[in-house]
Amino acid sequence: MRKISVIGAGYVGLVTGTCFADLGNQVICVDIDEEKIAKLKAGTIPFYEPGLEEMVRRNAQSGRLRFTTSYPEGIKEAEFVFIAVNTPSGAEGEADLKYIRMAAEGIAKVMDHPLIIVNKSTVPIGTGDWMAEIVEEYAHPEIEFTVVSNPEFLREGAAIGDFLNPDRIVLGSTNREAAEQVAQLYLSLRAPIMITDLRTAEMIKYASNAYLANRISFINEIASICEKLGADVKEVAIGMGYDKRIGPDYLDAGLGWGGSCFPKDVKALEHMASIHGCHPQLLRAVMEINRDQRRLIIQTLREIVGTLHGKTIGILGLAFKPNTDDMREAPSIEVIHLLTSEGARIKAYDPVAMEVAKGIMPDVTYCSDPYQMAEGSDALIAVTEWNEFQHLDMVRVKELMRQPVLIDGRNIYDPQKLGELGFIYRGVGRGYEGPTVISEVKKAAS
Ligand code: NAD
Ligand code: UGA
């Protein structure tokens, strides 16, 4: 049993703290957000993450997991302090490190015994060294500390499983002994553990996210070509994925990548590269293709239904991906913005993200289920591939709609089946013959 403090109780911090407690350690999570800590003390999770609430309650009840807003209380007994604060995009796309600075200063000012400070936030290359300078500036000169980089690779919606069954643990430090002590915390997970230097560890995180975003943009570019030439990108991805050198993951074409990390991390890496004299053209193309995906789908819709002014469009799914209520950089926000700027009215349904979405897009009509959303709609756009959307009664959906138009931004439906039901269906990169005309819609609607 080790004593661990986690600074920042968001998606990464709360999952990290709770999983370490579940592995038998004594954990305290520190956050500056008083409301969040009050909720956590009451056993409520401030966001949706499958399985987390139960795990937090169980570990809190056993006394292994505690919460506080106080740095002195959080640090006083800790052997390891994990930092998991947010590192949002700054004005130029750079990672804004103000919360990292606050955390490093906060730790330094109260630490009165040797500490291993482990950074889990995604930070620009060189930040670990900079953090060490900050701690040195504020801490008592005789108190020893080491900074270790330990980037996190979990996905939202699958966070607990990813934390407990990681593909690898990456640790970076100038002090091998400190990195090995952190490695001990993870031994029971039986994952490969790689120990490297600080800067390399920090780069592994950016390179991994940028590579995954790159794969998605690549398949989206292939999708656009498929669409023009009559091939089906879903089948293409399956065929490519059988190749062991390629693999099947992160090849789902659609509205592109969103969320709190890919967009900000690709931008930050591009920025970092540019200001150090590189010419990161691939990263730029990866971002441009992603932006285009949302615009292309609006164009597809326009081609089918004509002007969007006065049309009612139903949005199926709002969260940036299934199994989360996270709306940060969700493709739905841009899609809805593009539609409303052309005068469309929006109805929307999402199983868990509507409360969060209401705060961001108050003018949308939020529906209690997908059928209420379909009622009177001129077209539906599937934006998030929640499982339950695959099992809708599509005959009922069609009957409720004013026009049976379905734009499948995540390729979740079978084009042939929907065609047989009388839908005008368009997926992403699923070749169809010839341009669609508005009269086709009228024929299907009559
Ligand atoms: P988040 O916004 O959900 O949580 C961050 C928390 O830190 C907030 O609760 C905030 O109040 C708190 N905080 C900010 N400054 C603080 C301070 N000085 N002291 C104490 N608490 C403070 O963020 P997140 O999604 O958990 O991401 C955290 C970091 O992890 C980011 O760098 C992100 O890029 C990285 N990351 C995120 C994920 C993910 O799936 N969300 C996965 C891997 C890595
Ligand atoms: C991503 C990475 O997968 C994690 O390894 C990483 O730790 C995390 O970012 C982070 O640094 O925060 P996450 O953002 O939770 O995790 O979600 P993903 O499941 O990776 O999906 C990201 C986006 O890509 C979503 O918008 C999703 O819809 C999209 N996506 C994903 C596709 O468009 N196609 C795919 O084939 C896969």
Name the nearest CA neighbour of 3 among 21, 19, 16, 15.
21
20-24, 42-46, 162-166: range with lowest mean pLDDT? 42-46
Does pLDDT of 214 surpass 50?
A: yes
**Reported confidence tier of residue 131, pLDDT bands at 50, 70, 90:** very high
Does pLDDT of 443 surpass 90?
A: no
Kindly give the number of the ligand 1 atom that is closest to the alpha carbon of 261. Answer: 34
Kindly give the number of the ligand 1 atom that is closest to the alpha carbon of 103. Answer: 18
**What pLDDT is stored for residue 158 in this prediction?**
96
- pTM for the full model? 0.95
Name the nearest CA neighbour of 408 among 391, 428, 437.
428
Ligand nearest the Cα of residue 241 is 2
Q: Give the mean pLDDT of 204-224.
A: 98
Does pLDDT of 438 surpass 70?
A: no
Contact of 436 with 424, CB cutoff 8 Å: yes
Displacement of CA 251 from its chain's centroid (Å): 16
| pLDDT per position as a tens digit, 138-171 | 999 999 999 999 999 999 999 999 999 999 999 9
Ligand nearest the Cα of residue 36 is 1
Ligand 2, atom 6, lies closest to the CA of 153
Q: Is the CB of 160 under 6 A from ligand 1?
A: no
| One fold for 3-196 and 210-426 | yes
**What pLDDT is stored for residue 434 in this prediction?**
42
Q: How far apart are CA 156 and CA 353, in angstroms?
A: 13
Does pLDDT of 189 surpass 60?
A: yes
Q: Is the CB of 7 under 6 A from ligand 1?
A: yes
**Reported confidence tier of residue 441, pLDDT bands at 50, 70, 90:** low
Residue 383 in tokens: 């934006």
265-291 burial string, b = 16+ CB within 10 Å, else e?
Answer: bbbbbbbbbbeeeeebeebeebbebbe
Kindly give the number of the ligand 1 atom that is closest to the alpha carbon of 260. Answer: 41
Contact of 31 with 69, CB cutoff 8 Å: yes
Residue 261 in tokens: 């990390």
Q: Give the mean pLDDT of 125-135.
A: 97
Name the nearest CA neighbour of 308 among 421, 220, 405.
405
**Backbone dihedral angles phi then psi of residue 43, each to the nearest 5 degrees:** 85, 20
Q: How far apart are CA 385 and CA 391, in angstroms?
A: 11
Q: Give the mean pLDDT of 226-253.
A: 97
**Reported confidence tier of residue 194, pLDDT bands at 50, 70, 90:** very high
Q: Is the CB of 287 under 6 A from ligand 1?
A: no
Q: Where are the domains of the chain?
A: 3-196, 210-426
Q: Is 225 in a helix, a strand, or coil?
A: helix
Q: Which of 204, 262, 335, 386 maximizes ligand 2 atoms within 8 Å of its Cβ, making it the mutation to test the pocket?
A: 262
**Reported confidence tier of residue 439, pLDDT bands at 50, 70, 90:** low
Q: At how many degrees (to 10) do helices 281-305 and 438-445 cross?
A: 50
Helices (H), 111-173: 127-138, 159-164
| pLDDT per position as a tens digit, 52-87 | 999 999 999 999 999 999 999 999 999 999 999 999
| pLDDT per position as a tens digit, 351-391 | 999 999 999 999 999 999 999 999 999 999 999 999 999 99
Does pLDDT of 435 surpass 60?
A: no
Does pLDDT of 252 surpass 70?
A: yes
Strands 145-149 and 424-426, by their bridges, are: unpaired
**What pLDDT is stored for residue 437 in this prediction?**
42
Q: Where are the beta strands (DSSP E) in 293-371?
A: 312-316, 345-349, 365-366
Q: Which of 36, 109, 206, 261 maximizes ligand 1 atoms within 8 Å of its Cβ, making it the mutation to test the pocket?
A: 261
Question: CATH says 3-196 is which class?
Answer: alpha beta
**What pLDDT is stored for residue 327 in this prediction?**
96
Which CATH number applies to 210-426: 3.10.50.40, 3.40.50.720, 3.40.605.10, 3.40.50.2300? 3.40.50.720
Q: Is the CB of 377 under 6 A from ligand 2?
A: no
**What percent of the chain has pLDDT above 70?**
97
Contact of 265 with 209, CB cutoff 8 Å: yes
Q: How far apart are CA 247 and CA 181, in angstroms?
A: 34
Q: Is 443 in a helix, a strand, or coil?
A: helix
Strands 405-408 and 379-382, by their bridges, are: parallel
**What pLDDT is stored for residue 37 in this prediction?**
97
**Reported confidence tier of residue 431, pLDDT bands at 50, 70, 90:** confident
Q: How far apart are CA 295 and CA 347, in angstroms?
A: 19
Question: Which residues carry out catalysis?
Answer: 261
The conformation of residue 430, written as its DSSP 8-state character, comes to: B
The overall average pLDDT reported for the chain is 95
Contact of 373 with 347, CB cutoff 8 Å: yes
**What pLDDT is stored for residue 17 in this prediction?**
98
Contact of 213 with 262, CB cutoff 8 Å: yes
Does pLDDT of 405 surpass 50?
A: yes
**What pLDDT is stored for residue 436 in this prediction?**
45
**What pLDDT is stored for residue 440 in this prediction?**
59
Q: Give the mean pLDDT of 247-256.
A: 98
